[in-house]
Amino acid sequence: MRWRLNIRRTCWPAWAKTLKTIRQDMRTPVHQGSCLCERVRYEVTGNLGPLVYCHCKRCRKATGSAFIAVAPVAKADFNITQGAAALATYRSEAGVCRSFCSHCGSPIIGYRESDPDTLRLRIGTLDTPLPAQVSAHIFVASKAEWHDFHDDAPQYAERP
């Protein structure tokens, strides 16, 4: 009995610390994603910001679609877990950088040089479910004329 008591006294602090870490990890959302060819994989530990659809001409050109679906993410919460060497970055004259897989072309993140600590995660590359709905449409003044809106999210002519 005495031996058992000593084991409990010795192991309890370590076990309690491990349990606390597990509980914290369970509360912190983790989102995982990858590019089309799966050479680039990433993980976001923490919350994603509001989901926004951008309809500006640059985003339409970058995606080849009517808009781009993005959510802001803190740079500190974003981690490339595989294939960092496959990432390439295009910098526009406006100081907007877009990182993509150099093999399959999938856009992964974008950021402004004026705010490098906030990344714009390309939501289409997520592998984990995202229950959020679009929170706003921005730059609708330059939207594709062939695209119609099918939701009730607020619409802004430019960036609000």
For 17-62, how does the pLDDT look when each residue is reduced to its tens digit (9 = 90+)?
Answer: 454 444 445 556 799 999 999 999 999 998 899 999 999 898 898 8
Residue 122: partners with Cβ closer than 8 Å, 6 or more residues away = 68, 69, 70, 106, 107, 108, 109, 110
H/E segment holding residue 10: helix 2-27
Collapsing DSSP to helix, strand or coil, 70 comes out as strand
C-alpha 144/C-alpha 74 separation (Å) is: 30
* Beta-bridge partners for 42: 33, 80
* pLDDT-derived band at 1, boundaries 50, 70, 90: very low
φ/ψ (deg, to 5) at 30: -125, 125
